[in-house]
Amino acid sequence: MAAVYKALSKSSGAKADKDTDSSNGAVERKNKQRVLILSSRGVTYRHRHLLNDLAAMLPHGRKDAKFDSKSKLYQLNELAELYNCNNVLFFEARKGKDLYMWFSKVPNGPTVKFYAQNLHTMEELHFTGNCLKGSRPILSFDGAFETEPYLRVIKEIFLQIFGVPQGARKSKPFIDHVMGFSVADGKIWVRNYEIREVEKVKGEGEDENKEDGGDKNKGRKGKGGGGGGGGDKDTDISLVEIGPRFVLTPIVIQEGSFGGPIIYENKRFISPNKVRAELRRAKAGRHVARMEQQRDKLARRRNLGLEGGAKKDSSGLDTRELFA
Amino acid sequence: MAKKGAAQSLKAGSKPKSQSTGGKADKQKTDRRKSNEPAVEKAIDGKEEEWEDADSDENDKQPAPQPISGKETKKRKAVGEELSEEDSDSEDSEDDEEEQGGVDLAAIDDSESESELDSDGEPEKKDDEDDEEEIDVEELSAEDEEDEEQIAAGTRVRQTINNKEGLLTALRRFALDTNPKTVPFAFHQSIVSSKKTEDSIPSIDDDLQRELAFLNQSLEAARQGRALLRKEGVPFTRPTDYFAETVRSDETMQKVKAKLVEVATAKKAAAEARKQRDLKKFGKQVQVQKQQERAKQKRETLEKINQLKRKRQEGGSSALGATEADDIFDVAVDNELASHANKAGHNSKKRSAGDHGQPNAKRQKKNAKYGFGGKKRFAKSGDAVSSGDLSGFSVRRMKKGGKAPRLGKSRRKAMAAKK
């Protein structure tokens, strides 16, 4: 009897738990993400700075020393497990110039490999924004991410790696930046913006703040003090880029983590080596054509006896010979 | 090609099924051809549909290479990545034919989930395409032959793999629940915009437009996010008295600020300089105008004098012996002259500070005789202008050493005799 009662009460209790779960899911639901961030050997300073920037933005990240292999990437799985990470963000540099970025969910995949181009780090001075270290970003995804399955996978992986989980250990309680992911030209463009709350043009009672609105930073601070919690309804949002910015070309998606069957391959991706070779070949082609032309010209001139060295064979019937 | 044969023999087992579905795929293919545009990809339910879709993708490629990304190809050309574009396109279509067998072998080996569908789809595809392949091979250009060489040399070749079923399974396995009805926004903080950003980018090369499109996408997300977070009572704005470490160090921000200031001052200075230049230009105009005015005035005065003189002469001829009248006219002329001189003098005084007029004849004579105006030494030595003057230089003469020098008389004679 007691057992039956226990079972019954347990089931009902579980149900109640579920209910609470759905009502205040924020408490119950766990989004535990930890990201192992590391690079291969042979990264340039730019790649390294980008890595540092990303590490600074991810309070749930764990930066590790350079990984010493480019072929045995499956070893990263063990490494991630060692650090209790369930995501890996791996920078693979090749030839000291090309950067490939691997995003992987560790125990059982998937893995996405990108080719990264147009890197701009936070050090660059044309980005004027700034934000708290470890504040949770709002992730803004392009509508195109919902169209294709492979883009959906990429979106989910970005969501888990770049999204700072709620209540992460080193995260800050305010939200002051947006990360934008857009799809254009078959590539994924990543941007990071600061959210600045500025007074609307028709602000009432905050005109003294508007006076120093020219210095936006100051204006924001002044407003924050005045608004506090609910009073800042009438602020408008403007975005200022913080950096880093980069462009990712998806190359391959693997089912497993650094292994397993390939479930997506981008045929539009052309290896940078190929591009360079093509360029070189085009250049060489020009040179070859020119040399050939020159050779032809020389031969022609020689045949006509115009070139200095070899004179036209003087036959015995030449007028000069005959009437010398 | 040997590989293909192997694949076919391997898949002989699954032939009956494939043939039964082959007709369907065939029909679909012709449909696609008619419409000549890629089918809108719908959500895939079963495996059969999945491979059919992939199959038709393959088939589309045969008549017109890459109709799927035709638009994108154009775009990429604009970007300037076309260098190996043609190459890769033709290569792709080629390689799909060449390597299908090999791919499927691999797929069978390592993927359990897709192996069956691929093997199912494969043989009938071969059947369909066999006749097409002949035509295509004939149409191949020299470039393609080169590609074949590349393939022979063992270059890694890319092909389409887009296993939608596999992708969706993978997605289901690791996706977080972000259903807005059951999960609060603060849990994931991600917003998918309603429209495609690419549609609002006229040209991918236009940096400004492109960045603006990205910014607008993020801005919209930020607005939505703030509204949602406020509704859930999550703090959003940082209070003024909350200080914490920022992503970019103060040092960097200082530099940023310094750069901003520098840029602003540079802009200001440039504007100032432009203004000065314009003023100068305008000043010159004014000067020219003034000179013209002066010249005109002078001309008018002289004309007036001439007129007066003529009048006087006429008057003299008409009224002889009218000395008093002469005097009167003289006075008038004098007045005119005086007034003119006054004006001229006024001007000349101003001018006298700058340039002197011609010195008198005696002085000129003396100057010519004894010399005047700086030293005469080094007058003929070279200076920057003379050394910069290359008008007498000829590349041809420099290279060939000019025409042959004229020989001596005896030698010239000897040459003439030879001829």
Average pLDDT of the residues in B297-312: 92
Final residue of a structural domain among B123, B146, B170: B170
Weakly modelled stretches of chain A, pLDDT under 70: 1-29, 201-234, 307-314
Query: pLDDT tens for residues B198-213?
Result: 999 999 999 999 999 9
pLDDT at A213: 38
Whether residue B142 sits in one domain with residue B20:
yes
Whether residue B138 sits in one domain with residue B210:
no
Whether residue B95 sits in one domain with residue B11:
yes
Question: Considering its fold, how many domains does chain B have in total?
Answer: 3
Give the start-to-end residue ranges of the domains of chain A.
29-268
- CATH 1.10.150.670 for domain A29-268, yes or no, is no
Interface residue B136 vs chain A (CB under 8 A): no
Query: Which residues of B are less than 8 Å from A23 in CB distance?
Result: none
Q: Which of B166, B191, B211 lies closest to A263 in CB terms?
A: B166
Whether residue B152 sits in one domain with residue B265:
no
pLDDT more than 70, % of chain A = 77
Query: Do residues B83 and B17 make contact, with C-beta atoms less than 8 angstroms apart?
Result: no
Whether residue B98 sits in one domain with residue B34:
yes
Whether residue B21 sits in one domain with residue B158:
yes
Final residue of a structural domain among B320, B349, B378: B349
Instruction: Check residues B179 and A316 and name the one with the higher pLDDT.
Output: B179
Closest by CA position to B39, among listed B74, B3, B72, B68: B68
Whether residue B129 sits in one domain with residue B6:
yes
As a three-state string, the secondary structure of chain B is CHHHHHHHHHHHHHHHHHHHHHHHHHHHHHHHHHHCCCCCCCCCCCHHHHHHHHHHHHHHHCCCCCCCCHHHHHHHHHHCCHHHHHHHHHHHHHHHHHHHHHHHHHHHHHCHHHHHHHHHHHHHHHHHHHHHHHHHHHHCCHHHHHHHHHHHCCCCCCCCEECHHHHHHHHHHHCCCCCCCCCCHHHHCEEECCCCHHHHCCCCCCHHHHHHHHHHHHHHHHHHHHHHHHHHCCCCCCCCCCCCCECCCHHHHHHHHHHHHHHHHHHHHHHHHHHHHHHHHHHHHHHHHHHHHHHHHHHHHHHHHHHHHHHHHHHHHHCCCCHHHHHHHHHHHHHHHHHHHHHHHHHHHHHHCCCCCCCCHHHHHHHHHHCCCCCCCCCCCCCHHHHHCCCCCCHHHHHHCCCCCCCCHHHHHHHHHHC
Q: Is residue B194's pLDDT more than 70?
A: yes
Rank A257-261, A315-319, B69-73, B321-325 by mean pLDDT and report only the highest.
A257-261
Q: Is residue B302's pLDDT more than 90?
A: yes
pLDDT at A182: 95
Query: pLDDT tens for residues B139-171?
Result: 444 444 444 444 444 455 555 788 899 999 999
pLDDT at A29: 62
B90 φ, ψ (degrees, to nearest 5): -60, -35
Whether residue B80 sits in one domain with residue B60:
yes
Confidence band of B304 (pLDDT split at 50, 70, 90) = very high
Whether residue B290 sits in one domain with residue B329:
yes
Interface residue B251 vs chain A (CB under 8 A): no
Query: pLDDT tens for residues B221-257?
Result: 999 999 999 999 999 999 989 999 999 999 999 999 9
pLDDT more than 70, % of chain B = 50
Q: Tell me the average pLDDT of chain B.
A: 68
Instruction: Encode A215-253: b = buried (16+ Cβ within 10 Å), e = exposed.
Output: eeeebbbbbbeebeeeebeebebbbbbbbbbbbbbbbbb
Confidence band of B335 (pLDDT split at 50, 70, 90) = low
pLDDT at B331: 64
Whether residue B328 sits in one domain with residue B281:
yes
Q: Is residue B400 part of a domain?
A: no
Query: Which residues of B are less than 8 Å from A269 in CB distance?
Result: 158
Q: Is residue B183 part of a domain?
A: yes
Phi-psi domain of A140 (left: phi exceeds 0; alpha: psi -120 through 50; beta: other): beta
pLDDT at B185: 92
Interface residue B235 vs chain A (CB under 8 A): yes
Q: Which of A130, A185, A197 lies closest to B204 in CB terms?
A: A185
| Domain span including residue B183 | 176-232
Rank B40-49, B67-76, B354-363 by mean pLDDT and report only the highest.
B354-363
Whether residue B166 sits in one domain with residue B18:
yes
Whether residue B104 sits in one domain with residue B152:
yes
Q: Is residue B118 part of a domain?
A: yes
Interface residue B100 vs chain A (CB under 8 A): no
Query: Which residues of A are less than 8 Å from B236 in CB distance?
Result: 174-175
Interface residue A141 vs chain B (CB under 8 A): yes
Interface residue A193 vs chain B (CB under 8 A): yes
pLDDT at B103: 40
